[in-house]
Structure 1
Amino acid sequence: MNKLTSLLCLTLVAVMCASSVSAADKLLDSTKAAYKEQRQKDRLREADFHQTEVKLQAQKKALQKQIAALQAESDRLSDTFSQNEERLAEKEKALYLATGSLGELFGVVRQVAKELQVEMKQSVASIGQEQQIALIDDIVAAKTLPSALQLHGLWTVLSEQIKDSGHAETVTVNYVGGDGVHTDVTAKRLGSLGLLGDNGYLKWDGVTQTASDYRRQPEQAPTRSSVLTENLQPFAIDASRGTLLEQLGNKPGLSERFAQGGAVGKVIAGLLLLGLLIGAVRGVSLLRTQALIRVQLKKPQQPGNNPLGRVLKVYQEDKALNVEALELRLLESVVDEQQLLEKGLSLIKLFAALAPMLGLLGTVTGMIETFQTITQFGNADPRVMAGGISMALVTTVLGLIAAMPLLLLHNILSSQASNISVVIEKQGIGLVAERAEQQAKAAA
């Protein structure tokens, strides 16, 4: 039994070994086939790489050849550039030697043309000369020597400018009104100094080629129609070509000055008007009183309705009184009349004292506002400060202007009232003396 088992085991092992050998042979055959296939693919790839390398080598050689050609061309162009630089320097030297004083002439021509360009853009004498302006612009902008035609044109424009500066002629200009509407109007050109319209001088803007009105015209300013008459009267011309007229526009008028005073200025003006009104009423009353007193002095026995008449009436009504009592009654009547005569004068004096104080208040307030503006905006422009200070000082001027006539009026009215009081006092003293003489005679 054991032998049979062993035999079976040996047979089984033999069969397994035979199967393993057969599987290994199959695996080896498949491996060899895969290896052959991979070797074939590698050969194909190597062939492709070799072909690519050949192409790249050919491109490299072509590029190297092209670089060499470009380098040669660059060297040739560099040599040509150096030669041209040398030739250009020689030509410039030859040109400088050949032109000689023409270079200086070119500089002078450009300088004169530039000055003429500025002049024509600002002067009214260039109205309607667009072609001449374009010619001068070309000469100024030129980088080469001016041609003979340009030199002749420059001379012609200069001659025309000189000629036009001494003539007055009628021209048509583009006028811009206060509403911004552009219209063509007829104006009178006074040489190169000014332009006259129907309302006076016109401001000419050479940049926009437009005319407009000045803010303020001078007194007895001429107009276009006035210079066309035969009886032409002498008139002032702004030789600064509008600068003085511009400054005249910046000068405020009387109403503008008063408006700069603000609320304080209006209060001062109110005090002045009220004081003058009171003074006028009191002045008329005092003049009337003086006239009545002069008439009363001629008729002392007929007391009227006036200060002296009322004092005389007291004397006639109290004839029974003694001298001391009569003197006191007359003194009382004189004091009452003096109060009536001086009525309102103290108010005028008060207004005269308040006016400069209000002016000083307005000045201090204006200065505070000016410095606050400078602090906020950091503007150190002296013109801004001067404008604010001048506005602040307007109230001081108004205060002084109001105080002087009020003081003068108070002095005049006080003198009149004082003169009337002296007359009344003299008459009262005379009446007391007359009563004392009568009593002395009666006692004797």
Structure 2
Amino acid sequence: MKALHKITSLSAAALMMLLTSAQGYAQSSLSDLLNAVENDRVAESEEYQQRLQEFEQNAARQQQILDTTEGRIVEQEGLQVQLSDQFEANEVIIADKREVLRNRRGDLNELFGTLQGVAGDFLSNFQDSLISAQYPGRTGELEVIIERAGSSIEQLNISEMERFWYFMHQEVTESGRVVTYNGDVALPSGETANRSITRIGTFNAISDGEYLSYQGEVGHLQVLPRQPAADVLSAANALTSSNSGFTRTGIDPTGGVGGQVMANLVNFPSAQEQVEANAGVIGFIIIGVGVVGIILGFFRLLMLTLVSVKVRSQLKSDKASKNNPLGRVLLVAESNPNADTETLELKLGEAILKETPSLESLLTLIKMIATIAPLGGLLGTVTGMIQVFQQITVYGAG
């Protein structure tokens, strides 16, 4: 019993000590928290004061910047008025100077006007001239000369006028020459190749036996998609391989871009292309019937020619032969020497009637073909007109 009491007393004492220790620790933590809050408040207050001070300083600086900017605006407005007045005064001065320049130029105005007109005419020739393919850049220089000739501020100098004279003389001289040089040629495949080019004046240009055309907006020569006939190309090959003397070749003198007639001729569809593109079913039927008619006609012509040869041979012979109609008819007369005239006429008429079908064979079919062909052509015309009206209905008359 005493032992139990002693244990209880010790436990109570230990518990009291623990409670006292925990209470002291709690009081210490609250004090630290209070101190921390106070310190944070003081720090935030100082930071707030610092920010407020910086804001006030910035406001003062911004006001200063605003005042400076407004002052500059006023200054620039005054400068604008000054420059505007000066600009108007300069316009008056420029107008006076231009009038003085015009008066001092005198007859040069007429000279420059004439030069500008002549240069404009030559510009269109230069743009489409085969010579420009050999000497590129002429059109650009000529455009500058035309612009300066028409300017009321600038005027041409002697070197520029001499340059234009040189271009004119070059065009006249080169138009009478056959020269060979290297240049770029556009192929039908779209690629560009550097080739040896033979230029025949301002008429045509040839490269590797092919005729070329020139377009000023493209700036270089290009192979014609379709070439002329074989004999013309053979002559062109002879020209490119010739070094001296005279060479017979074909040219088209109708244009300075390679020849307008040649361009139209090579673009004109061939008979096969016309049949494939325009004839249609009716066209093929007409062609087929025509071919059959031609074959039959030649066959009958051959047969009749052979018969005619044999008949002529029979006329020269006193002995009747069975290899020709006349001989067979004469054999009928010879086989009936004692027949009276009426009977002989009947037998001869019968013999002639037997020979007629072989001589007139296939003529009926040929006549039918001759009748059908125009009707087929008329049908093709009507069909073509129907197609045209259908296209007009769909796409309009334009």
TM bin, normalised by shorter chain, reads 0.5 to 0.7
Contact 1:167 1:191 in 2 (8 A): yes
In the alignment, the residues of structure 2 paired with residue 199 and residue 213 of structure 1 have an alpha-carbon distance, to the nearest angstrom, of 12
Partner of 1:438: none
In the alignment, the residues of structure 2 paired with residue 297 and residue 81 of structure 1 have an alpha-carbon distance, to the nearest angstrom, of 117
Q: Which consecutive unaligned segments of at least 5 residues does structure 2 have? A: 1-55
Q: 1:181 aligns with which of 188, 191, 206?
A: 191
In the alignment, the residues of structure 2 paired with residue 125 and residue 152 of structure 1 have an alpha-carbon distance, to the nearest angstrom, of 19
Flag the 1:128–1:329 CA change in 2: closer, same or farther, 3 A: closer
Contact 2:123 2:142 in 1 (8 A): yes
Cα deviation, 1:16-74, whole Å, max 9, x if unaligned, reads xxxxxxxxxxxxxxxxxxxxxxxxxxxxxxxxxxx9xxx9x999999997776666545
How many residues matched? 327
Contact 1:238 1:245 in 2 (8 A): no
| Residue aligned with 1:178, SS | coil
Q: 2:163 aligns with which of 147, 153, 158?
A: 153
Partner of 1:247: 264
Flag the 1:97–1:249 CA change in 2: closer, same or farther, 3 A: same
Contact 1:172 1:187 in 2 (8 A): yes
C-alpha displacement of 1:75: 4.4
Matched to 2:263, the amino acid is: E
Contact 2:126 2:138 in 1 (8 A): no
Flag the 1:84–1:233 CA change in 2: closer, same or farther, 3 A: closer
Q: 1:84 aligns with which of 90, 94, 101?
A: 90
Partner of 1:346: 364
Cα deviation, 1:361-414, whole Å, max 9, x if unaligned, reads 11221122122222211243xxxxxxxxxxxxxxxxxxxxxxxxxxxxxxxxxx
Cα deviation, 1:132-191, whole Å, max 9, x if unaligned, reads 444324324545322333223222322222222222211112122232332111122122
Matched to 2:204, the amino acid is: G
Contact 1:187 1:224 in 2 (8 A): no
Flag the 1:122–1:335 CA change in 2: closer, same or farther, 3 A: same
Moved more, 293-302 or 75-84: 293-302
Moved more, 347-356 or 100-109: 100-109
In the alignment, the residues of structure 2 paired with residue 120 and residue 289 of structure 1 have an alpha-carbon distance, to the nearest angstrom, of 70
Partner of 1:355: 373
C-alpha displacement of 1:355: 1.3
In the alignment, the residues of structure 1 paired with residue 318 and residue 163 of structure 2 have an alpha-carbon distance, to the nearest angstrom, of 102
In the alignment, the residues of structure 1 paired with residue 77 and residue 246 of structure 2 have an alpha-carbon distance, to the nearest angstrom, of 89
Q: TM-score, normalised by structure 2?
A: 0.67
* Bigger relative CO (Cα 8 Å, ≥ 6 apart): 1
C-alpha displacement of 1:94: 2.0
Partner of 1:212: 223
Partner of 1:129: 135
Q: TM-score, normalised by structure 1?
A: 0.61
| Residue aligned with 1:130, SS | coil
| Residue aligned with 2:155, SS | coil
Partner of 1:233: 248
Flag the 1:232–1:284 CA change in 2: closer, same or farther, 3 A: closer
Partner of 2:289: 271
- Does 2:200 correspond to 1:190? yes
C-alpha displacement of 1:327: 5.6
In the alignment, the residues of structure 1 paired with residue 74 and residue 198 of structure 2 have an alpha-carbon distance, to the nearest angstrom, of 78
C-alpha displacement of 1:261: 3.0
Flag the 1:327–1:137 CA change in 2: closer, same or farther, 3 A: closer
Matched to 1:274, the amino acid is: V
Contact 1:177 1:212 in 2 (8 A): yes
Identity %: 28
Q: 2:213 aligns with which of 197, 203, 218?
A: 203
RMSD: 3.9
Alignment of 1:287-436 (within 5 A): 287-293=305-311, 304=322, 306-308=324-326, 310-311=328-329, 330-380=348-398
| Residue aligned with 1:230, SS | coil
Matched to 1:175, the amino acid is: V
Larger radius of gyration: 1
